[in-house]
């Protein structure tokens, strides 16, 4: 019965005129239940852009570095940068909070920093839809300095989703390990898990899938290679399943650390009903604020191009997949919620 419900949900998704390819893969922890569905030539072994699910890789590296004593979540961010590169990054109501920013503020999205990817009349998203472009880290920092933060760090019981938080974390990882991020991902994640088709693209020979904006297939390799720690990784649904199981299963870092990461706060209204914890999203199911009534929660991450990787502890199920539609990234969230609610 439950697989029939999954069939119906997937069928409704791919009937949309804006969905040109899609893949869905579901398993429980030990793999004795497994379901997949594919559309438009996309299989569970086809390359897909992880987009912001890449943040789970970055989170993994931060947590491993904390575990081996190379980092603390209380470390000040500026201590990892030279020459005042971040000076004036967080000016809020006449006060400079830059020196007070910690790794925890970035990981929990509680820095209050603005998101240059989505905010402003000529944000990066709008620019990238017009043309492919590379955006260097220094440019991201300068663009962020030109915008107003939303609140002082770790105040108002709020979080504000901003890619710059994880872009900075990526640079901190490189500083601490003295290695490029792609090598750290390989050493900390890809090799231990045997992920052979997952990578962070760095040169012209690395394949980067096209993404859809409405009915247009667009190629943005330069921009995707710029995202790195916040959204640049490539994988397959099969390997994303391996990773998300390892992330929540304690294979990559001490599972007890989740007790420290479960300080969830609401994101800005455009992300409703998503909350953010320490490096990952949470969606509470049920309640008056939800259109879909269910039990428990979804934890994991989604991406702006329609990718998703969530764990549903209530039924011990993992949902991964991609709808590949950047014009409506909320589709991936709705799919994950419907899958969870139908899993009875």
Q: What domains appear along the chain, each with residue ranges and CATH number?
A: 2-342 (3.40.710.10)
Whole-angstrom distance, CA of residue 13 vs CA of residue 15 = 5
**pLDDT of 289 over the 80 cut:** no
Confidence band for 293, pLDDT divided at 50, 70 and 90: low
Angstrom distance (rounded) from CA 176 to CA 173:
5
Residue pLDDT, tens place only, 104-159: 999 999 999 999 999 988 899 999 999 999 999 999 999 999 999 999 999 989 99
pLDDT of 1 strictly over 80? no
Q: How confident is the model at residue 2 (pLDDT cuts 50, 70, 90)?
A: confident
pLDDT tens readout for residues 20-64: 999 999 999 999 999 999 999 999 999 999 999 999 999 999 999
Decide if pLDDT at 223 tops 70: yes
Q: Considering only 53-57, 81-85, 177-181, which range has the smallest mean pLDDT? A: 81-85
The structure's pTM equals 0.97
**pLDDT for residue 224 is more than 80:** yes
Inter-residue contact 227 to 55 (CB < 8 Å): no
- Predicted confidence at residue 119, as pLDDT, reads 95
Taking residues 310-331, report their average pLDDT.
96
pLDDT above 70 covers a percentage of the chain that reads 98
Q: Distance of CA 52 to CAs 46, 149, 227, 247, 337, Å?
A: 18, 21, 9, 15, 18
Residue pair 319/340 in contact by the 8 Å Cβ criterion: yes
Phi (first) and psi of residue 230, to 5 degrees: -100, -15
Q: How far is CA 207 from the centre of its chain?
A: 20
pLDDT > 90 in the chain, percent: 93
What pLDDT is recorded for position 344?
A: 78
Whether pLDDT at 270 is above 60: yes
**pLDDT value, residue 291:** 56
Cα dist from 41 to 10, 22, 97, 225, whole Å: 15, 8, 49, 25
Considering only 54-58, 61-65, 70-74, 270-274, which range has the smallest mean pLDDT? Answer: 270-274
Q: How many C-alpha atoms does 49 have within 13 Å on its Cβ side?
A: 32
Across the chain, what does the average pLDDT equal? 95
Phi, psi of 247 (to 5 degrees): -60, -50
With beta carbons less than 8 A apart as the criterion, state whether 322 and 52 touch: no
Q: Is there a contact between 199 and 224 (Cβ–Cβ < 8 Å)?
A: no
């Amino acid at each position: 019965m439950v697989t029939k419900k999954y069939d119906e949900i997937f069928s409704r998704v791919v009937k949309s005129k804006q969905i040109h390819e899609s893949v869905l893969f579901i398993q429980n922890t030990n793999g004795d239940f497994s379901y997949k569905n594919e559309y438009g030539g996309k299989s569970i072994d086809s390359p897909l852009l992880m987009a912001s699910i890449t943040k789970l890789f970055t989170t993994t590296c931060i947590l491993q570095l904390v575990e081996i004593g190379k980092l603390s979540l209380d470390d000040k961010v500026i201590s990892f940068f030279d020459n005042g590169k971040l000076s004036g990054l967080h000016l809020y109501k006449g006060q400079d909070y830059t020196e007070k920013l910690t790794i925890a503020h970035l990981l929990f999205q509680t820095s209050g920093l603005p998101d240059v990817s989505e905010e402003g009349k000529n944000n990066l998203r709008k620019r990238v839809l017009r043309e492919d472009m590379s955006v260097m880290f220094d440019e991201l920092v300068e663009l962020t300095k030109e915008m107003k933060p939303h609140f002082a760090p770790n105040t108002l019981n709020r979080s504000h989703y901003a890619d710059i938080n994880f872009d900075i974390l990526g640079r901190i990882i490189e500083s601490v390990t003295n290695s490029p991020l792609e090598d750290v991902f390989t050493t900390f994640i890809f090799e231990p898990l045997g992920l052979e088709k997952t990578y962070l693209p760095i040169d012209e020979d690395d394949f980067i899938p096209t993404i859809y904006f409405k009915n247009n297939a667009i190629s943005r390799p330069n921009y995707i290679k710029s995202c790195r720690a916040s959204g640049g990784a490539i994988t397959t649904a099969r390997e994303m399943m391996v990773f998300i199981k390892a992330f929540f299963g304690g294979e990559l870092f001490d599972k007890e650390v989740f007790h420290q990461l479960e300080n969830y706060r609401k994101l800005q209204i455009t992300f409703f009903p998503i909350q953010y914890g320490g490096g990952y999203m949470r969606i509470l199911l049920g309640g008056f604020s939800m259109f879909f009534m269910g039990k428990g929660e979804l934890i994991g991450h989604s991406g702006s191009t329609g990718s998703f990787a969530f764990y549903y502890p209530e039924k011990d199920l993992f949902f991964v997949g991609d709808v590949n539609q950047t014009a409506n990234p909320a589709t991936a969230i709705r799919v994950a919620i419907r899958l969870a609610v139908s899993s009875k």
